[in-house]
Amino acid sequence: MNDPVTEVEFGPYTVPVIKGGYYDRFRSNPDLDVVARDPAAGNIDFFRRIPKGQVQSRIGPVWAPNFYYRASSVQLLMAAPLSRLRAILPEPLEPLRAWPGHGLVAVTVFNYAVCDNDPYNEASVAIVVRRPCACGPQAMELGASIRRRSFFAHVLALPVTTEIARVRGIAGYQLPKWLAGISLTIGGDIVASVLAPDGTPDLLLRAPRPRFENIPSQSHMGANTMIHKIDGVWHRTVVRSNTLSFAQRLLPNDVTLSRQGGPLSDLLTGLGVSKMLRLDVVRDAQFVLNMPERLSAPGFT
């Protein structure tokens, strides 16, 4: 972190944040009129219709949901053997079948340029799972998820680049977060890299620059749901998205994902990921991260 920092209280923790940054000034409850005057934030009308409120969490009262005013990402959706996915998923989670014998693993790198918790980067490895209590053919469920841009997933790894993002993810959500060097560049090419905690290379993703489609705000909405345990109890956490500029390619043959021996590389090797099915590059988007809610579904106690 090159900006001047100050220490703030975050529940029972003391964490460094950017001095004069969004969290230092607003504590996750910003004045949207002030945010709107920030040229880096862009148009924030999407957030004006989403009320914030103080809710109870594992670390005391917090303002929610969390707003990500300007973000970008690159994601690879890859195939993996169902047997490997079932072996790592806690019951009663079930991997969503893409075709006989194979499920889906998503590898994603995010850049959050403007958000309530100050800028940071994040990487994710997640297994796409069936919707809790879903029934019927899995092919129909997969098709409906694609059409609605709405997937359920169980996150296996979620390294981040700032301490407040790490503490918030662990203390508030009990997600598998740790500090790591992470970068994402959307330029002439798409380049994303993740370092291991000791600073050695872990993952490196490279792809030619695709042709982006720019679309009106709130015309390409989505909602993904993380299924995870908090204090031994199943919860769901919904992330809503408002995509503004994106590109998508099926069965890309000119994308490379180099595994260089860190924890994410080892995780992907253990999952047996193989064929790249889809590349999604989001050049500009807005996200709303809700607080976890207890999952009320048969079998999830």
Domain ranges of the chain: 68-294
Q: Over the stretch 240-273, which tens digit does the pLDDT of each residue have?
A: 999 999 999 999 999 999 999 999 999 999 999 9
pLDDT the model gives residue 243: 97
Q: How far apart are CA 110 and CA 224, in angstroms?
A: 15
From 2.40.400.10, 2.40.10.10, 3.30.465.10, 3.30.70.920, which CATH number describes the 68-294 domain? Answer: 2.40.400.10
* Nearest Cα to Cα of residue 84 among 268, 278, 277: 268
Q: Which residues of the chain have pLDDT under 50?
A: none
Q: What is the DSSP letter of 262?
A: S
Beta bridge partners of 239: 224, 289
pLDDT the model gives residue 158: 98
Is 64 in a helix, a strand, or coil? strand
pLDDT the model gives residue 25: 96
pLDDT the model gives residue 161: 98
Whether the model clears a pTM of 0.85, i.e. scores above it, the answer is: yes
Q: How far apart are CA 274 and CA 79, in angstroms?
A: 6
End-to-end CA distance of the chain: 40
pLDDT the model gives residue 135: 79
pLDDT the model gives residue 34: 97
Peptide bond into 201 cis (omega under 30): no
pLDDT the model gives residue 298: 81
> Cα 211 to chain center, whole Å?
23
Is 137 in a helix, a strand, or coil? coil
Strands (DSSP E) found in the chain? 5-10, 13-18, 53-57, 60-64, 66-81, 102-115, 120-129, 152-157, 182-186, 189-195, 201-208, 213-214, 221-230, 233-250, 256-259, 276-289, 293-294
pLDDT the model gives residue 140: 84
